Amino acid sequence: MNEPVSVVRSDLVSGSLPTKITGIVFWGTLLVGLLIALIMLYGRESELVSLQATNTILLEHEVADALRNVPAPFLTNKHDSLVRTLQTLQAQLHFEAIEISSPGDIRILIGKKSPEQNAVTRSLLIPSQGITEPTPVNMTVYFLDISDTISNYRRHVLMAIGLMVVIYALILQNIFRVLLSIPFARMVSTAKNFAEGNAESRFDETYRNEFGFLSQFIKKALDSIAAQQKELSEALARATQSEAALFREKELAEVTLQSINEAVITTNATGEVQYLNPVAERITGWGNAEAHNLPLSTVITIVQENSGKQVPNPVYECLKNNRVVNLDTHGSLLRRDGESVAIEASAAPMRSGLGAVIGAVMVCQDVSQARKFAYQLSYQAGHDSLTGLYNRREFDIKLCDLLESSKLSGSMNILLYLDLDQFKVVNDTCGHTAGDKLLLQLSVLLGHKVRKNDILARLGGDEFGVLLMGCDIEFGKKVANGFLELISDFRFIWEDKIFQVGVSIGLVPITASTESSAEVMSAADAACYAAKDRGRNRIHVFHGDEGQGKKYGEMQWVPRIHKAMAENRLHLYRQNIVSLESGDTAEHAEILLRMESEEDGSIIIPMAFIPAAERYNLMPLLDRWVISKALEWLEAYPLCKNGLPQHLAINISGQSLGDEQFLNYIVSQLEQTKISPKLICLEITETSAIANIGNAISLIDALRKRGCKFALDDFGSGMSSYSYLKNLNVDFLKIDGAFIKDMANNPVDRAMVESINHIGHVMGIQTIAEFVETEAVLEMLREIGVNYAQGYSVHMPEPLIGSEK
Amino acid sequence: MTNRLYRLIFGSIMLIALYFDLKPAVYFLIAMMLAEGLTNWTIPKVIKKLRGISPHVDINAQSSCRINIEAERVWRLMIGAAFVISYIFFPQELWVLPWFLAFVIFGAGASDVCPGLLFMKKVGFKP
């Protein structure tokens, strides 16, 4: 950029103003001077020629006058006066010589003649005295050669004028050089320096003339330019910095847009796509270059996720109303290839500095996974993970909806509350996996029995609920009977075992007068409880007269048990176990648990609340309470006899067997109370022992080493094989009461009792018969050889002394 | 010796010779100028060479010229020719030209501006 400027300046300098000034002043003056000299010479030369001619004429007259006064012959007489006259004229008229000749070859020569002289001859007719005819006379005048004169004159004049003019021109040139050329050259030099980048170069301001003024002016202008240049440089630096910062910001923004995990689409004010970031390209299937300037509706189509109906793009509303717009519905974006992607989107306007809308930015997030998870969570929140049926929460919601619907329409609906019977047996004997399998199979079967619009849900462990829409009680009964038959006919096979389960069904009508879902569920629970109470495997239609004591379902027992423990309304009873050999009636007794009713103080049998305690995992708590109280009793009444037992048999639930801390608890209680472990016999049911065989063996071995005895309770009820007996190191076998009650009339039962008794004895285990309620049975047991008997015919349960109410 | 000094001295001697009508001197000067022009051995150049000073050559200026002959050389030839024509062949008719040329040469030396030479350079001869 600087090179052309320097060339221009160089040309300017070489244009050489001093040269021009010199050319004009010096050479102009010289030429004019020479011209003047030439003009002067020309005039002088003309004057010389003219003077010579004039002098010749004058001389001619003077000579003629002189000759007239001379008598003839002129040149012979009196010529002395003529000579003097001619000599006088020679001095006056500046001629070199004069020769006068007359007829007769008489000559008079005045002066000295030479060939170089310029001769002028004139013929004169002179009248003579006494002669009538004039005498012809020739006069020749000799002047100096005029060319030499002129030549000399030229040399003198030219040299004089030439030198004067040259000197004058040189002086003039020098004056101009001092006044113009030098300041101008300095200014040019300064300008050249300035142009070459020396910004400090300034003109000389010391001149007291126009150059000084011009220098000051230019200096101010340069200072101003320098200041402006400085400002411009600073502004440029700032602009450069700003540009760099903007570039960094732009890069950062672009990198951010490239990096973020959300699709960003920008449009102009007319809704034409301007930019897609990589995520947007991936989601839409459009490339950034392809989509550029295309209408947004061409690139992005949003539909409702469920219906597939197209919804307006929020960008258009955003551009129209100049505000942020969110996509409210659960929308899906249709990709270019037609595939839909679940998105959440919002559009925000882009405004200029004046606030005008210049476009919009749409941010989309691919929420396919989140929506899938949300759907899964929603499904899991409303469905049972095992069976896939609705869970209790969802069932409650559906029930509430149904209640509102019933109130509005006045229609009747039916709720069936199903509680499986003998499910616990499967669970305890074959484990939870088997129980889960049973529930899964039953849920599938039940699902086939309900209509499409009916609701089937699993409400708890082995509880199901069914909402029958728009039907009466008869239809409900029909469906319930179908369930009964289905479950009765169903056989659950697990490994080598076959189970048959039953179901107790509570039926509750839902009408417009039904108050709440809690009321319906409570009624269903009570009806189901009533069905169980009436012998299980049946249907009970709720009428509202199920009784105060029975209206509580198992759920309600949980707080009641806690409250009874807190209010000390649990009591220990004993039932003596009589030796059929020695007849000792007080040596051995089983501890039984009773609850005192909160309402009327009556005694509640354990069958009322133990199932609930088992279902809601309260058994470890109750077991600990019983052990603690029993040991306290033994500590208070050591070595009891005379009607009081010496050994106490305490039942341990299956849940406590599964509790790894339970062993430590018993040991600590024994150590704390200093009770001899030999006085304690722990009873575990056959089914719970088999279900927790590992823990049972560990517990039995650990406590037997300390001296505790063990009894296997309800032996024969669990359909277990005798092989378990080899692993369970117990002291007593308590034959299940189901075999004892009817053994007097049922030979099979008797045979079973004999078999169990025999096996026990063979293994060195003493046997105890439960549910001995008649003397006949007692006698029969003696015959068989059973060691101990327990039942109403032997001893009615009674409170422990000191523990009774 | 610079060309300026050469012109100053040459013009002075020529003016003296013309003033005193020293014809041999005038002839000598004319012959010398023509010899310089013909041989291109100008006196300033010879003196510089004798003094061991290398002649300044403006390569840029020379490269931009159109005619590959030095302006000084042409100037000497033309001035010499003008002297021959005016002083030898037509002294009566062109008596003023030798004087004019002498003054011009002297003035060029004194002012350091030679219009003839500038004209030559303008025409395209080498500087």
Written as one string, the DSSP assignment of A209-240 is: SHHHHHHHHHHHHHHHHHHHHHHHHHHHHHHH
Angle CA(A337)–CA(A338)–CA(A344) in degrees, nearest 5? Answer: 110
Report the C-alpha gap between A752 and A543 in whole angstroms: 43
Helices (H), A542-684: 554-566, 606-615, 619-636, 654-657, 662-673
Q: Which residues span the domain enclosing B104?
A: 3-126
Q: pLDDT tens digits for A407-446?
A: 888 889 999 999 987 787 788 778 888 999 999 999 999 9
Could you tell me the pLDDT band of residue A78, with boundaries at 50, 70 and 90?
low
pLDDT, position A478? 93
- Burial class of residue A419 in the structure, from the number of CB atoms within 10 Å of its CB (0-12 exposed, 13-18 middle, 19+ buried): buried
Task: Yes or no: say if A306 and A297 are a contact pair by the CB < 8 Å rule.
Answer: no
Q: Are strands B67-70 and B125-126 parallel, antiparallel or unpaired?
A: parallel
Which range is least confidently modeled, A16-25, A74-83, A693-702?
A: A74-83
Which whole number is the average pLDDT over A195-222? 80
Judged by a CB distance cut-off of 8 A, whether residue B18 touches chain A is yes
Which whole number is the average pLDDT over A658-662? 82
pLDDT, position A72? 60
**Is residue B2 over pLDDT 80?**
yes
**Is residue A548 over pLDDT 70?**
no
pLDDT, position A11? 38
Report the C-alpha gap between A646 and A680 in whole angstroms: 9
Could you tell me the pLDDT band of residue A7, with boundaries at 50, 70 and 90?
very low
Which whole number is the average pLDDT over A293-310? 88
Helices (H), A69-126: 79-93
Q: pLDDT tens digits for A128-166?
A: 666 667 778 888 888 877 777 788 888 888 888 888 888
Where do we find the tokens 């700003």? A242
What would the two tokens of residue A267 be? Answer: 């449009």
Report the C-alpha gap between A296 and A342 in whole angstroms: 18
Count structural domains, chain B: 1
Q: pLDDT tens digits for A714-773?
A: 887 655 557 677 778 889 999 988 889 888 888 888 998 998 899 899 988 999 999 898
| Residue of B96, B110, B111 with shortest CB distance to A38 | B96
pLDDT, position B77? 93
Which whole number is the average pLDDT over A83-97? 82
**Is residue A659 over pLDDT 90?**
no
Return the closest-CA partner of residue A26 out of A197, A203, A166, A222: A166
Question: CATH 3.30.450.20 region(s) of chain A?
Answer: 260-373
Torsion sign, CA atoms A107, A111, A116, A122: negative
Q: Is A713 helix (H, G, I), strand (E, B) or coil?
A: strand
Closest chain B residue to A14, measured at CA = B61
User: Could you tell me which residue, A476 or A723, shows the higher pLDDT?
Assistant: A476
pLDDT, position B9? 93
CB contact under 8 A, B107 and A166: yes
Which range is least confidently modeled, A570-574, A685-689, B102-106?
A: A685-689
A260-373 folds as Beta-Lactamase (3.30.450)
**Is residue A14 over pLDDT 50?**
no
| Residue of B21, B99, B115 with shortest CB distance to A27 | B115
**Which residue, among B96, B103, B105, B117, would best test binding to A if mutated, counting the most A CBs under 10 Å from its CB?**
B103
Which whole number is the average pLDDT over A247-264? 85
pLDDT, position A535? 63
- The nearest CA of chain A is from the CA of B114 a distance in Å of 8
**What size, in residues, is chain B?**
127
Task: Yes or no: say if A547 and A442 are a contact pair by the CB < 8 Å rule.
Answer: no
Q: Are strands A680-685 and A647-652 parallel, antiparallel or unpaired?
A: parallel
pLDDT, position A624? 92
Could you tell me the pLDDT band of residue A6, with boundaries at 50, 70 and 90?
very low
| Residue of B18, B19, B111 with shortest CB distance to A26 | B111
**Which residues of chain B neighbour A174 with C-beta distances below 8 Å?**
none
Q: ipTM score of the complex?
A: 0.84
**Is residue A9 over pLDDT 50?**
no
Report the C-alpha gap between A97 and A719 in whole angstroms: 195
Which whole number is the average pLDDT over A537-562? 72
CB contact under 8 A, A170 and B111: yes
Which range is least confidently modeled, A97-106, A300-309, A336-345?
A: A97-106
Q: Which residues, at least 6 apart from A176, have a Cβ–Cβ distance to it below 8 Å?
A: A21, A22, A25
Q: Order of strands, edge to edge, in the sheet holding A135-143?
A: A106-111, A97-102, A135-143, A118-126
pLDDT, position B18? 92
pLDDT, position A805? 41
Judged by a CB distance cut-off of 8 A, whether residue B107 touches chain A is yes
**Is residue A584 over pLDDT 70?**
no
Closest chain A residue to B110, measured at CA = A170
Judged by a CB distance cut-off of 8 A, whether residue A146 touches chain B is no
Closest chain A residue to B116, measured at CA = A23
Question: CATH 3.30.70.270 region(s) of chain A?
Answer: 388-551
**What size, in residues, is chain A?**
805
pLDDT, position A533? 66
Report the C-alpha gap between A81 and A46 in whole angstroms: 35
| Residue of B99, B110, B118 with shortest CB distance to A166 | B110
**Which residues of chain B neighbour A23 with C-beta distances below 8 Å?**
113, 115, 118
Where do we find the tokens 């018969």? A769
Round the average pLDDT of chain A to a whole number and report it: 83
- CB burial readout A359-372, b (16+ within 10 A) else e: bbbbbbbbbeeebe
Which whole number is the average pLDDT over A487-504? 82
Judged by a CB distance cut-off of 8 A, whether residue A169 touches chain B is yes
Could you tell me the pLDDT band of residue A207, with boundaries at 50, 70 and 90?
confident
Round the average pLDDT of chain B to a whole number and report it: 87
Q: pLDDT tens digits for A396-418?
A: 999 999 999 888 888 899 999 99
Helix or strand run (H / E) with residue A322: none
User: Number of Cβ pairs closer than 8 Å across A and B?
Assistant: 44
A568-799 folds as TIM Barrel (3.20.20)
pLDDT, position A469? 92
pLDDT, position A5? 35
Closest chain A residue to B14, measured at CA = A159
pLDDT, position A550? 47
Cα–Cα distance list, A34 to A2, A44, A47, A530, A696 (Å): 48, 15, 20, 157, 152
pLDDT, position A481? 93
pLDDT, position A633? 84
pTM of the model: 0.41
Give the type of residue at A297.
S
Q: pLDDT tens digits for A157-193?
A: 888 888 888 888 888 888 888 888 788 888 888 888 8
Judged by a CB distance cut-off of 8 A, whether residue B38 touches chain A is no
pLDDT, position A720? 55
Q: Which residues, at least 6 apart from A494, have a Cβ–Cβ distance to it below 8 Å?
A: A426, A430, A434, A437, A438
pLDDT, position A8? 36
> Cα A229 vs. chain centroid, distance in angstroms?
45
Where do we find the tokens 């009674």? A798
- CB burial readout B68-95, b (16+ within 10 A) else e: eebbbbbbbbebbebbbebbeeeeeeeb
Q: Are strands A273-276 and A263-268 parallel, antiparallel or unpaired?
A: antiparallel
Q: Is A142 helix (H, G, I), strand (E, B) or coil?
A: strand
Tell me the sheet residues that pair with B86.
none
**Is residue B70 over pLDDT 90?**
no
CATH number for the domain whose boundaries are A388-551: 3.30.70.270
Q: Which of residues 1-40 of A touch B (CB under 8 A)?
A: 19, 22-23, 26-27, 30, 34, 38
**Is residue A552 over pLDDT 60?**
no
Report the C-alpha gap between A535 and A39 in whole angstroms: 167
- Burial class of residue A405 in the structure, from the number of CB atoms within 10 Å of its CB (0-12 exposed, 13-18 middle, 19+ buried): middle
pLDDT, position A254? 81
**Is residue B110 over pLDDT 90?**
no
**Which residues of chain B neighbour A32 with C-beta distances below 8 Å?**
none
**Residue A307: Cβ within 10 Å count:** 9
**Is residue A228 over pLDDT 50?**
yes
**DSSP assignment of A258-300:** HHSSSEEEEEETTSBEEEE-HHHHHHH---HHHHTTSBHHHH-
> Cα A103 vs. chain centroid, distance in angstroms?
149
pLDDT, position B13? 94
Angle CA(A453)–CA(A459)–CA(A461) in degrees, nearest 5? Answer: 135
Helices (H), A459-536: 473-489, 517-533
pLDDT, position A665? 92
pLDDT, position A1? 35
Which range is least confidently modeled, A39-48, A260-269, A588-597, B94-103?
A: A39-48
**Is residue A273 over pLDDT 90?**
yes
Report the C-alpha gap between A643 and A576 in whole angstroms: 9
Could you tell me the pLDDT band of residue A708, with boundaries at 50, 70 and 90?
very high
